[in-house]
Structure 1
Amino acid sequence: MNQFDANLILAQPFFLCSLILFVIGWVITFISACIIGASIHLIWVDIFYNLFLLLGTTLSVATQSLHHYRLVILAFIAGSLSLIFVCIDTALNVHTDTNNYAAKYSAAGAGMIFQAFVLIFWVIYFGAEDDSLAKRSINGFTVPRTPLTHGGAVGVTGAHDVVMAQQQQQQQQQQQNGQNLSSVVVAPASNYAYKARALYSYDANPEDSNELSFAKGEILDIVDNKGKWWQARNQNGAVGIAPSNYLQLV
């Protein structure tokens, strides 16, 4: 399992916003259920079910393991939607003697409606094919991440900065000589900290020896996801550059 990286969530605004809405809905439902008590036991089942779904989905995105658990997440979402619709119907149709408790049931129903909308969105987000219009539209909002150095030490992120500085220097030199067609310099000794899946097949330009060919669905190691061209390495160890609009971080 890869190391937890919150920046992978922050780099995907659509998923981040849906995650925040889901948490808000879950908190509203949880507080309402605490006030109501144990009168509707199924709501508590839904609360803990969705808590595990929330944690599992967040971990899969933040550890770049979404491609391993995609079908599992979709199966759990299907179960959650079935359960949550039953709970919504029960909560909104409960008749109580006091308006105060009626409001608490309505609040619980509203919180679950929030969660239901997010889960429907996640069905599209996790279930759509990479080359579909919906997925390409969502991927268009991905934010490139800039590596940071912590405490002045050159660690994994610090190594990225050093490599990027070296690449920029080499790039300027080659641009002056008119030798670089893609404006990206390949540094074989770079640290490949990310992984990306090929959304489409790509045939390297025969006039540029830096470019890397790859097939649709192939998983590539990536140095950094900044710019129009990313330095990549395939499973056979071949190193080159690839167009970023053909790739999706996983």
Structure 2
Amino acid sequence: MAPIDTGLVLAQPFFLCSLILISIGWFITFIGACTIGSSVRLVWVDIFYNLFLVLGVTLAVATQAVRNYRLVILTFLAGGLSLLFICIDDMINIHYSKTSAVGSGLIFQSLVIIFWVVFFGAEEDSLAKRSIDGYTIPRTPGAAGPASGMIAAPDQHQSPLENLSSVVVAPSADYAYKARALYSYEANPEDSNELSFTKGDVLDIVDNKGKWWQARKQDGTVGIAPSNYLQLI
């Protein structure tokens, strides 16, 4: 498993906000259920289910494993949403002031999980996915966390020695990641390994370490690309 990188969570404002909101809803539900006691057993099942759901989803984002576990995540999100709706219906039918707090927390969580279904279920080229990814904060190579703001396009006018890469292209490598091009890039004519691409292109990536990544375009062209022009998705 890839190392946990909290910067990947912090670099996605939409996901980070949804994580905060579902945590608030979970704590409201938990505190409300504590005041009621064991009379709402199904709510307690939902509390522990959603706790592990939130931890699992966050771990998948922080380790860049969403692409590998996408169907698993969507399956558990569907199960969590169904359980939430059942619990919300039970709370509505109980006319008791303390159940109102539990119900509001459950509704809070259900709204976030509906967003997560779209967030994780949308195809890469869909309008919803492009809109969400458009707010992702680009990260510079080697940075420990997200950039403080949107960065300007890197300068391509470097000296040949500065722009040459020592990465060896292996066409048969396993492309485990995907990245979207933040800017267009024109390959250096002095380095036949470099890959040209345009802003918005989705590339397959072998590894996300170093300043240059081995990448593959949708047409099958293989080469290396500067990592500060790309954003993992």
TM-score (normalised: structure 1): 0.70
Superposed CA offset, 1:118-176 (max 9, x none): 00000010000001110011111111224457xxxxxxx9xxxxxxxxx98x95435xx
Corresponding residue to 1:219 among 177, 202, 205? 205
Do the aligned partners of 1:185 and 1:210 also contact (CA within 8 Å) in 2? no
In the alignment, what sits opposite 1:116?
A: 110
Whole-angstrom CA distance in 2 between matches of 1:189 and 1:207: 14
For 2:165, what is the secondary structure of its paired residue? Answer: coil
Corresponding residue to 1:103 among 86, 97, 101? 97
Task: Identify if the C-alpha distance between structure 1 residues 205 and 172 changes in structure 2 by more than 3 Å, giving closer, same or farther.
Answer: closer
> After superposition, where does 1:173-212 map in structure 2 within 5 Å?
173-174=159-160, 185-188=163-166, 196-198=177-179, 208=189, 209=192, 211-212=194-195
In the alignment, what sits opposite 2:85?
A: 85
What are structure 2's unaligned runs of at least 5 residues? Answer: 146-153, 169-175, 217-221
Counterpart amino acid of residue 13 in structure 2 = P
- The alpha carbon displacement at 1:233 in A equals 1.0
Superposed CA offset, 1:162-220 (max 9, x none): xxxxx98x95435xxxxx9xxx8243269xxxx741569xxx96874463269966333
Task: Identify if the C-alpha distance between structure 1 residues 144 and 199 changes in structure 2 by more than 3 Å, giving closer, same or farther.
Answer: closer
In the alignment, what sits opposite 2:132?
A: 138
Task: Identify if the C-alpha distance between structure 1 residues 123 and 244 changes in structure 2 by more than 3 Å, giving closer, same or farther.
Answer: farther
Instruction: Say which structure is richer in helix.
Output: 1
What are structure 1's unaligned runs of at least 5 residues? Answer: 96-101, 150-156, 158-166, 175-179, 225-229
In the alignment, what sits opposite 2:212?
A: 231
| C-alpha RMSD of matched pairs (Å) | 3.5
Q: Which has the larger radius of gyration?
A: 1
In the alignment, what sits opposite 2:71?
A: 71
Whole-angstrom CA distance in 1 between matches of 2:6 and 2:39: 38
Task: Identify if the C-alpha distance between structure 1 residues 116 and 48 changes in structure 2 by more than 3 Å, giving closer, same or farther.
Answer: same
- The alpha carbon displacement at 1:40 in A equals 1.4
Counterpart amino acid of residue 211 in structure 1 = E
- The alpha carbon displacement at 1:249 in A equals 1.2
Whole-angstrom CA distance in 2 between matches of 1:120 and 1:42: 20
Whole-angstrom CA distance in 2 between matches of 1:207 and 1:64: 30
- The alpha carbon displacement at 1:68 in A equals 1.1
Percent of aligned pairs with the same amino acid:
53
- The alpha carbon displacement at 1:11 in A equals 0.4
Whole-angstrom CA distance in 2 between matches of 1:186 and 1:11: 29
